Structure 1
Amino acid sequence: MSNPICATIAGLPGKHAPDSATQSQRQNGGMISYPEPFNDLALVASYLAETPCRVPGMADMHRMAEILLAERAPDDGHFLIVGAGGGLELRAFAGSRANWRFTGVDPSSAMLDLARQVTAPYSERIQLLEGTVDAAPSGPFDGVACLLTLHFLDRDERLYTLAEIRRRMRTGAALVVAHHIAASPDPEKWLARSVIFAGKSGQHPDNALPAARAMAERLSLMSPDEEESLLLEAGFSDPAIFYAGLSFRGWVATAC
C-alpha cells in the first residue's frame, strides 16, 4: 500500500495500490507477488475518518454485504475478509452479528494494527494475518468479503486471487466484492465524479479530470461484463450487482 493511488492522487481509498517500483507483479510457484504494503503512516492515521466520506454510502454497502453473506451462512459462520486492513468492514460485520467469527488477511502490518484497534471489542472472534490471500487458512469459510481491493490487480492476478478465495469457500457460500470499475466506455468521467465526491463541494468537473486520468492509468478497470465473466471463470455462479456508487460497483456471487 505504499503510494496509494486513490489516496494520494484522487483522495479515494485503496488497500493494495502499486507504485512504480512494484507495478510489475509476478506469479511464482503458484503465488502472486502483490505490491508492497501500504506503510504511509499519515494515510493510515487518516483512513478511518476519511474513507467513509470517499466511498458513497459505505456504511450501507457494508450493511448490504452483511445481509448477503448471512443468506448463505449458518448463524455461527466463519468468514474470510481479504484486504482486512483498516478494519471498517470487520467492525460493521462483527458489531451486527454476535456469533460470527472472522479471519482477515492484509499485506500491510500498519493497516492490520489499525484494524486491531478498530475491532478491539470483538477481538476474541477475529484473527488477523499479515499477507495476501495465500496467507489465509484453507477453510472452508462460510462466506468471503473483498472490498476496495481488486481494482489494483490486473486480470491474471485478480483471477488468481478469486480462484484462491473460491478454493477456501464452502460450496454455496457467498462472495461479496466492491471496487472501482469501468462504469462506461468513458471511465474517466465516472472516476472524475468520484474525485469530486471525495473532495470539496463545488469543484468543477474539469478540475477533477487530471486525477481521474491518473487513476484510469494506474488502476485495473474492467467493464461490468468483464467483472462477471471473471467471477464465473474463477468458480462462482449467479453474479449480481448489489451496490453502485459513481465509479464503484459491488457484486455478490455464489461459490459453485
Structure 2
Amino acid sequence: MAKDFNSLQVVESYDAHIRKLIPGYELVHQQIQAVLNCHVAEDAHILIIGCGTGYELGYLMVLNPTWSFTVTELSENMLNQTRQRVEAAGQLHRVNFVLGSHTTFEQASCFDAVLSILVTHFIPLSEKTNFLAKAFELLKPQGIFLSFDLIQAHSNFEQRVLPEFCQMQGLSASQATKMMQRLEDDFELISQQHYQSLLTEIGFDQIHCFSQIFSYVAYCAFKTSMD
C-alpha cells in the first residue's frame, strides 16, 4: 500500500524517519548546497518541487538569506508543515507556497534553479518526460536543475545491502522489509541511462551525476551550455 503523505502521522514523523531510509541524507543536501553556491546568484529565485515538510527549504533559507523561493507540494498537510516552519523563522516574505504541481505553471523561464529531491522516482513512467520538461521550461537561460532519486538497481547487490544499511540507521527488520516492498510497489524506477537520456532529449546540457550512494543518484543539469 502506498504511503499516505497527507496523513498527519506520516507528516509528523517524516523528518526523523526519512533519515533512516535514505543513505547519506544530510551529505547529499550539503552537496546540493555546494553546487548551488557555485552556480546561482545572490538574488536567485529557486523552485523546490515537492517540498515535503520544508527541511530542504529551511536550511537553504538559513545559509542563503538573499534567495527567494517558490515551493510546490501535493500534500496539504506537508505544505502546512512547511509554512509553519517558515513562519516560525519569520521568513514568510521569502517564500511562495503552491499546493499542486509545477506542471500546471503557465509562466516560463522564471527560476534560476529548480530542485526535485526524492520526487521523480514517484512519478509514473508515462508522466516523467512532461515532469522533467516542465522543469526545463521553468528555468531561466543557464539555470540549473538538481535531482536526487532512486534508480533501478543493476543487480541484487543493492537489494541486499540497502535494507541492512537502513537497519544500521535505526529501522527495525520488519520496517526494512516493508521499505523494500514499497520500492517494488510504489516507486516508478528507471535506469540511470534512461534518466540521462530523458534529460538530454528534453534539452538539458552539461549533465553530471555528482553523487551516488547505492542506487540513489544525484544529478545536475543546465538549460544551456556552461563554461
Normalised by the length of structure 2, the TM-score is: 0.86
Give the structure 2 partner of residue 183 of structure 1.
Answer: 153
In 1: Cα distance, 2:82 partner to 2:121 partner: 21
- Of 48, 58, 67, which aligns to 2:15? 48
* Residue 157 (str. 1) matches residue 127 (str. 2): yes
Count of residue correspondences: 221
Partner AA of 1:84 in structure 2: C
- Of 202, 214, 219, which aligns to 1:251? 219
With 119-128 and 135-144 compared, the bigger mean Cα shift is at: 135-144
- Shift of the alpha carbon at 1:171? 1.4
Give the structure 2 partner of residue 113 of structure 1.
Answer: 80
Give the structure 2 partner of residue 78 of structure 1.
Answer: 45
Give the structure 1 partner of residue 103 of structure 2.
Answer: 134
Q: Residues 224-243 of structure 1: matches in 2 within 5 Å?
A: 224-243=192-211
> Taking structure 1 as reference, are residues 162 and 207 closer, same or farther at Cα in structure 2, changes over 3 Å only?
closer
Q: Residues 31-46 of structure 1: matches in 2 within 5 Å?
A: 38-46=5-13
- Shift of the alpha carbon at 1:117? 2.3
- Shift of the alpha carbon at 1:210? 6.8
In 2: Cα distance, 1:84 partner to 1:203 partner: 24
- Shift of the alpha carbon at 1:87? 0.6
In 1: Cα distance, 2:174 partner to 2:155 partner: 18
Alignment RMSD (CA, Å): 2.6
In 1: Cα distance, 2:106 partner to 2:82 partner: 19
- Shift of the alpha carbon at 1:60? 2.0
Unaligned runs of 5+ in 1: 5-36
SS in 2 for 1:86: coil
Partner AA of 2:211 in structure 1: Y
- Shift of the alpha carbon at 1:119? 2.7
Q: Which has the higher helix share?
A: 2
SS in 2 for 1:215: helix
With 241-250 and 193-202 compared, the bigger mean Cα shift is at: 193-202
> Taking structure 1 as reference, are residues 215 and 123 closer, same or farther at Cα in structure 2, changes over 3 Å only?
same
SS in 2 for 1:79: strand
Give the structure 2 partner of residue 173 of structure 1.
Answer: 143
Give the structure 2 partner of residue 59 of structure 1.
Answer: 26
In 2: Cα distance, 1:240 partner to 1:101 partner: 25
Give % identity.
25
* Residue 69 (str. 1) matches residue 29 (str. 2): no
- Shift of the alpha carbon at 1:214? 4.5
Is this contact kept in 2: 1:143–1:169, CA < 8 A? yes
Normalised by the length of structure 1, the TM-score is: 0.77
* Residue 193 (str. 1) matches residue 167 (str. 2): no
Give the structure 1 partner of residue 92 of structure 2.
Answer: 123
Give the structure 1 partner of residue 191 of structure 2.
Answer: 223
